Structure 1
Amino acid sequence: MPELPEMETYKRVLVHHFAGKQITDAEVNREKSVNVPVTDFLAAVKGATVTGIERRAKHLVFNLNTGMHLVLHLMLGGWMYIGTDADSPQRTKQVILTFGGTKLFFIGLRLGYLHLLTTGERDRKFADLGPEPFDPAFDLAAFQTQLHGKKGAIKMVLVDQKAIAGIGNCYSDEICFTAGVRPTKKVGELDERARQSLFAAIRPVLTEAIRLGGYMDDPVYAGDTKTGGYNHHLLVYDREHEPCRRCGQPIQRHEIVSRKTFFCPNCQR
């Protein structure tokens, strides 16, 4: 599932291609991918201009000049492609937005969605989300507040969108490895040094993942060589039995509340 670095990568590409552009046509091939009747959705977006594109947690928000917003969550299996009918992937497209000669294809939205919301509806949807990791207000004290009173494994706090927005299965493991903390460690058992190390690891890991294009390697457009670049630099995630890049010991996999979890038993004691 796309996490903060993947959605930030998408956002930057989409801003470059579509900010300030008019939606000249639209197509919905799966009614459940939108939240209003298809005829209402099409009427609202056709002719509207995308004034800006923002990211909130794992969501993207297309702001329209009509005052409405298209809120996207790709969920598991969802991705986007910019191109034409001639070069687009041979996959079912649940929603298609056309910008003149270029189309934005929304693919794999079986669990994901593209919802048309008012500003109030958008704000209510995001009301329960936790702080953004790159928000200047998210400092060590704020992180400590999010940990306060939490039980269970530290991984489950890192992936809790009400605690910290945007981190998921992949980057929680990468953050724990960088901090030298085992993701199965109970929050109540973390000493002050471990808490500080975890906080100090969050931004560098996410920054590097964004720089390299995230770990999901479906290309966003023809000739895209950046998207998915972090997949070749993963430290522990999805590397079961492979040697640790730091010490050479085999990476182990466990499950925490049905979430696959990867760590180095030697480096993360």
Structure 2
Amino acid sequence: MPEWPEMEHYRTQLSPLISGQKVTGIVVNRPATINEPVDVFTTALIGRSILFVERRGKHLLFHLDDGNRLHLHLMLGGWLAYGEHGPKKDSHFQVILTFGDGFSLYFGGLRLGYLHRISAKVVIEQMKELGPDPFDSRLTLEAFHNRMAGKRGRLKTTLTDQRFLAGIGNCYSDEICFDARVHPAFAVNKLDPSVSERIYRSMHKVLQEAKEAGGYMDHPLTPEDTVTGGYNNQCRVYDRQGEPCYDCGNEIKFETLAGRKMFFCPNCQKDS
């Protein structure tokens, strides 16, 4: 599932391409992907301009010039493409938005994800339970300590709790734990402040590096895009079960924790 780096990478790529562009055509191949009848959705969007693209956690919000938003959540398997032509047949995409310049934004893999047209008021209601963004200026080290102090449970499930932090999922929680040299199953209420600080620093480091590398998804946004998916080969532990740790050579292990995949190096990530 796309996480903070992937969605921020999408936002920064899309913003200069579609901001100010007017929607001139719409194809909906899967009505269940949207939240209203196709004719209502289409009529409401034709002629509308996208002012800018915002990200909140794993969500993208396309701000429309009538004050409404298009709320995109890719969920598991979702991806985007942009260009004069899609990388697959149009029928393979759940929704296609075409703009005045003749280019289109293709929404693929939205079997679990969705693209909803909602009001600004509904956005506030839907997003009110989200925790702070990892790079929110208000999430200082002290604020992070305080939030961690109020949590119970394991580190991985805490980092992936969208009410605690918005944007981190299975992949980057494991990568952050490895960078901080903490076992992902360690009890949060037993973390020393020095270890909590390592996690905070590693969170910023890993997410920023992953974003700059294009995240781990391997679907290029445009035909010229050579960046998207660049982090896939840079993961230190995620999805590397049985492979040697790059740092110590020990075998990367895989377990499940509360139904979530968990990859770690048992030598580098001993209980803190």
Query: Shorter-normalised TM-score: what interval?
Result: over 0.9
Deviations 1:196-228 (A, max 9, x none): 111111111100001100011111111321000
Deviation of 1:60 (Å)? 0.5
- Normalised to the residue count of structure 1, the TM-score between the two structures is 0.97
Deviations 1:112-170 (A, max 9, x none): 00010111001111100000111111012221222233222100000000000100000
Q: Name the residue aligned to 1:123.
A: 124
Opposite residue 65 of structure 1, the aligned amino acid is D
Opposite residue 267 of structure 2, the aligned amino acid is N
Q: Name the residue aligned to 2:41.
A: 41
What RMSD, in angstroms, separates the aligned Cα atoms of the two structures?
Answer: 1.1
SS in 1 for 2:175: helix
Q: Is 1:238–2:239 an aligned residue pair?
A: yes
Q: Name the residue aligned to 2:55.
A: 55
Question: In 1, distance between residues paired with 2:203 and 2:34?
Answer: 33
Opposite residue 71 of structure 1, the aligned amino acid is H
Q: Name the residue aligned to 1:211.
A: 212
Question: In 2, distance between residues paired with 1:76 and 1:96?
Answer: 19
- Unaligned residue ranges in structure 1 (runs of 5+): none
Choose 56-65 or 25-34, whichever is displaced more: 25-34
Aligned length: 268
Question: In 2, distance between residues paired with 1:191 and 1:145?
Answer: 12
Q: Is 1:106–2:80 an aligned residue pair?
A: no
Matches within 5 A, 1:50-89: 50-85=50-85, 87-89=86-88
Q: Name the residue aligned to 2:183.
A: 182
SS in 1 for 2:40: helix
Question: In 2, distance between residues paired with 1:129 and 1:56?
Answer: 8
SS in 2 for 1:238: coil
Question: In 2, distance between residues paired with 1:234 and 1:112?
Answer: 25
Opposite residue 157 of structure 2, the aligned amino acid is M
- Normalised to the residue count of structure 2, the TM-score between the two structures is 0.96
Question: In 1, distance between residues paired with 2:150 and 2:13?
Answer: 39
Q: Percent identical across equivalent pairs?
A: 48
Query: Does the aligned pair in 1 maintain the 2:145–2:193 contact within 8 Å?
Result: no
- Unaligned residue ranges in structure 2 (runs of 5+): none
Q: Name the residue aligned to 2:193.
A: 192
Question: In 2, distance between residues paired with 1:78 and 1:137?
Answer: 30
Opposite residue 186 of structure 1, the aligned amino acid is A
